[in-house]
Structure 1
């Protein structure tokens, strides 16, 4: 019974072929340069053999006293033409095709980044950060060979086989048919056969590499903890087991690739020998001239260049297939994510501060034993401020993810200004709702670039005002590069408190109507937090606000709280406390 996975290979690679098809002109031009290089190589070797043989026979005839002549200029010019063409076309082909591959990599990474940006919290939580990085780098790097190592060389080799067989058939049909049969059989094995033999090992290699990267990432990040708890040896043993599995697959792939390389040489050699014998018999019978008899097998010999790249590339086709399958799975996950399902939503709540209602909302993460939220009911009138308290794990961050539509509720209904959350357009939601999370994401770019994530159109004056509101203006002005100072990957060049305030400054550049602040003063000293609270109170005037805090009264409380609710294990554990006459 045939392997169903083999039957789906074309379906697996089809989405990526479509992406390649967007640059069809460049791909065809690159394949044309490859074909020109192979054709020039065949012409060079074949014409050189003809010329040498013709020259030798002419010399023998002259030595025997015969009156003969030979035009050396035309074949000599042809040899120079093929030599220069082969050199130039190979150089241009390498430059052009590698430039094309870099463009394809940009297309692939851009598409995948867009897919990952559209995934919801449910999907993202199922894998580690190292797994997502593996998709974005290793899988894309594997797919970039789809054109340069698989499609183009195989197509060029097939065209060269057909053209060479046709050329031989012009002089000797039997030789053309023999070359076609032998070389076409070799081509089929070097593509389909090699792919079949290396499929399991190359797929296993991709999976082992992913496991090794993830395990090694955990090993390095948790080295101190592993050593403290005496688990370092066991963790290293698991790494060793993965490496042994990877080594087994590598040896298997090396053997299969070596077999293919040997068969490619054997096929060209056998074809060369068969053509030589047929040509010699035809010459003996007077059907072929001596130089043409030498030309034919030498032309076959030149085909070795076209076939040499196929064994290794198709031996690793399973790796390309595995990468495509994993990326296709991401596409499918995006198709069922919150953002994708709601991309056609276009309603908008009334302008002004947003009122928020959660009606019997539940949230259950896939695979979790207990729901994160259960039967949650709360109402935030427009323009008021709610403090949602609770210990770590109580469900506060889950509420924030629901309100920003990073997650969809498992049960219940959420409305903004009387409009169902799922009906609000994506652009409208991102414009009117802003969230300061506990973890501030900063990119390895300048202060200005990180701040402009809040408002891409903000000028330098607005950036300085936002920094002044969070008491970072004097610090930034003292830096040698000012707003152009790079913050490092993840903001590692600045302190945690500065990163926190940069995130707050970025939020201040927005004009949202609902603001969600998760521990807004975490990591700040009391004096700084008190000053920021006063400025924040003024900016929040006229906006609806949800504060997510562990407990009030311990340090500096968020300003202007109208109502307090407490979460316990995903449910409200008290009726709440009215601070300014607002009924729950």
Structure 2
């Protein structure tokens, strides 16, 4: 990993609060609180039973060695059976609770991603998104299973251990409890502080590796065409080496943390043995000494993983921060409205101003544009002129810094997002077809559509014959991105999905991009036929001459200029 990357990760870690992302994850888990709490209680009961079992076992072993008779067989059987049952129930409940909680995080993640990245905003690298959705979410199980539950156990064991040993020797109780507190709380805290930066490096390196691999796989044709296989492979190898170095550094930290915790436990055993022999501590009788020894060993084993978990806390907190970052709305994200969409569909841009970043030239500078209901217009302009920004503003993906956009006389800022988008359908130059059946791709536009309506939409888009010729018709499987269809067929299928929505307003953003001239003209003629009666906003670089339009506008210098009006 480059040193600049390392410094960037470290600076970001310092800027972010350590606990705030964790509290947000716990807030997402709130509906699982009863199940999570039940799992923790079962874990504590199993731990307590285990300590009692070890204490009784120590008494019995010592008594048998000394030829004494101690009646503990019944207690051992009861405690042993109870521990097995509780341990099984605890594993069942805690893991079930964790799986459900992680599912909640994934659903929350996807909803916030859809909210903040509707037009390509937010995450821009598929590898980074995949890393957050998979690796970072999975790392969060350590928050509950490795930190919260064991820490709750340590808080229970400490007073229990002190009280049990204090019944034999107060001095020994203080020493052993102090060593336990060091092993269960101090060492994990130190490990967490030292390992936080390393955990961020591992997360960062893993995300960078996924980005590199997905870029290489997605661009195999271009890589092969330009003979760049060696360079791309070397790039991936460099990222893999960076991840390896970060993981090795974290592994060394884990080893040191485990050794420190182990030494605390061994020191406690030595202290108990010293007390049994009267070396430097008040002497205790052999029988209670054996019970104390067994209890001490069991207590330290119960928290042996806490120091290691502390070393992994950096990875967990950084994973939580990366997951909850999806909820950070883009700079220009609009506020959620509360009103239903109006009946009217007249669109009006009133003195609208917008720029993507401070210091950059405005994309729209006091722009005014009126589109009466049912009118068909074209918006022309070169790349970067603001044509797609106009669509993003109308769809409430971003909000203007000045001015107002109205639909049917109502400010769209006050309209609910789902209600507004139910009135507007969007066909873009990069409309995605999912690796699923044709039926499933069409139903994305309107889930309640019946089969007759699906075929009607396909007929309108002039792709029904293609679907009928497929072996399984509507249930035929499309490859990733609709790879099993030609470019024109895929675009017509996307058009059929848009037509199913019954939205009275259609935004066609460069809908014929990537098609040859003949296919482009045929596609646009189809649009002329199937969009009658709807408001149509055609966004394009140029016109082909086959479009049926009421007016043509050009965006220039952040303003609109009418070129033609029928």
* Aligned partner of 2:95 among 98, 106, 118: 98
Q: Distance in 1 between matches of 2:77 and 2:241?
A: 52
Structure 1 position 300 matched with structure 2 position 296: yes
**Pairwise CA distance, 1:535:** 6.0
Q: Distance in 2 between matches of 1:203 and 1:219?
A: 24
**Pairwise CA distance, 1:184:** 0.8
Kindly tell me: are residues 189 and 253 of structure 1, through their superposed partners in 2, closer, same or farther at Cα, counting changes over 3 Å? farther
Give the equivalent residue in structure 2 for 1:63. Answer: none
Give the equivalent residue in structure 1 for 2:311. Answer: 315
Q: Distance in 1 between matches of 2:446 and 2:113?
A: 22
Q: Distance in 1 between matches of 2:518 and 2:247?
A: 60
**Pairwise CA distance, 1:329:** 3.5
Give the equivalent residue in structure 1 for 2:246. Answer: 249
Give the equivalent residue in structure 1 for 2:333. Answer: 338
Kindly tell me: are residues 337 and 85 of structure 1, through their superposed partners in 2, closer, same or farther at Cα, counting changes over 3 Å? farther
Q: Distance in 2 between matches of 1:368 and 1:132?
A: 28
| Contact map agreement 2:337 2:415 (CA 8 A) in 1 | no
- Secondary structure class of the residue paired with 1:14: helix
Give the equivalent residue in structure 1 for 2:44. Answer: 35
Give the equivalent residue in structure 2 for 1:564. Answer: 552
Q: Distance in 1 between matches of 2:514 and 2:16?
A: 56
Write out per-residue CA displacement over residues 88-127 of structure 1, whole angstroms, 9 at most, x where no aligned residue. Answer: 4333333322221111111111111111111156881673
| Contact map agreement 2:426 2:508 (CA 8 A) in 1 | yes
Q: Please show how residues 487-526 of structure 1 align to structure 2 within 5 Å.
A: 487-522=478-513
Write out per-residue CA displacement over residues 335-389 of structure 1, whole angstroms, 9 at most, x where no aligned residue. Answer: x6534x2x1342644x24x222234434322278544444543322221110223
Q: Distance in 2 between matches of 1:327 and 1:571?
A: 39
> Structure 1, unaligned stretches of length 5 or more?
60-69
Give the equivalent residue in structure 1 for 2:392. Answer: 401
Structure 1 position 357 matched with structure 2 position 344: no
Give the equivalent residue in structure 1 for 2:107. Answer: 110
Write out per-residue CA displacement over residues 423-476 of structure 1, whole angstroms, 9 at most, x where no aligned residue. Answer: 333233112111111112233333323222222221222222222222333443
Q: Please show how residues 477-492 of structure 1 align to structure 2 within 5 Å.
A: 477-492=468-483
Give the equivalent residue in structure 2 for 1:191. Answer: 188
Write out per-residue CA displacement over residues 63-103 of structure 1, whole angstroms, 9 at most, x where no aligned residue. Answer: xxxxxxx36xx523333334444444333333322221111
Give the equivalent residue in structure 1 for 2:320. Answer: 324
| Contact map agreement 1:469 1:532 (CA 8 A) in 2 | no
Kindly tell me: are residues 145 and 493 of structure 1, through their superposed partners in 2, closer, same or farther at Cα, counting changes over 3 Å? farther
Kindly tell me: are residues 108 and 337 of structure 1, through their superposed partners in 2, closer, same or farther at Cα, counting changes over 3 Å? farther
Kindly tell me: are residues 330 and 529 of structure 1, through their superposed partners in 2, closer, same or farther at Cα, counting changes over 3 Å? closer
Give the equivalent residue in structure 1 for 2:24. Answer: 15
Q: Distance in 2 between matches of 1:356 and 1:219?
A: 43
| Contact map agreement 2:521 2:544 (CA 8 A) in 1 | no
Give the equivalent residue in structure 2 for 1:202. Answer: 199
Structure 1 position 473 matched with structure 2 position 470: no
Kindly tell me: are residues 94 and 479 of structure 1, through their superposed partners in 2, closer, same or farther at Cα, counting changes over 3 Å? farther
Give the equivalent residue in structure 2 for 1:260. Answer: 257
User: RMSD of aligned C-alpha atoms?
Assistant: 3.3
> Structure 2, unaligned stretches of length 5 or more?
1-11
Kindly tell me: are residues 118 and 397 of structure 1, through their superposed partners in 2, closer, same or farther at Cα, counting changes over 3 Å? same
| Contact map agreement 1:140 1:323 (CA 8 A) in 2 | yes
| Contact map agreement 1:120 1:407 (CA 8 A) in 2 | no
Give the equivalent residue in structure 2 for 1:178. Answer: 175
Structure 1 position 381 matched with structure 2 position 372: yes
**Pairwise CA distance, 1:6:** 9.9
Q: Distance in 2 between matches of 1:191 and 1:311?
A: 4
Larger Rg: 1
TM-score (norm 2): 0.87
Write out per-residue CA displacement over residues 102-160 of structure 1, whole angstroms, 9 at most, x where no aligned residue. Answer: 11111111111111111156881673333333332232222232111111112212312
Q: Distance in 1 between matches of 2:223 and 2:354?
A: 34
Q: Distance in 2 between matches of 1:388 and 1:227?
A: 38
Q: Distance in 2 between matches of 1:285 and 1:329?
A: 56
| Contact map agreement 1:38 1:305 (CA 8 A) in 2 | no
| Contact map agreement 1:519 1:549 (CA 8 A) in 2 | yes
| Contact map agreement 2:94 2:145 (CA 8 A) in 1 | yes
**Pairwise CA distance, 1:529:** 6.7
- Secondary structure class of the residue paired with 1:406: coil
Q: Distance in 2 between matches of 1:494 and 1:82?
A: 66
* Aligned partner of 1:442 among 423, 426, 433: 433
- Secondary structure class of the residue paired with 1:545: strand
Q: Distance in 1 between matches of 2:351 and 2:184?
A: 64
- Secondary structure class of the residue paired with 1:576: strand
- Secondary structure class of the residue paired with 1:309: helix
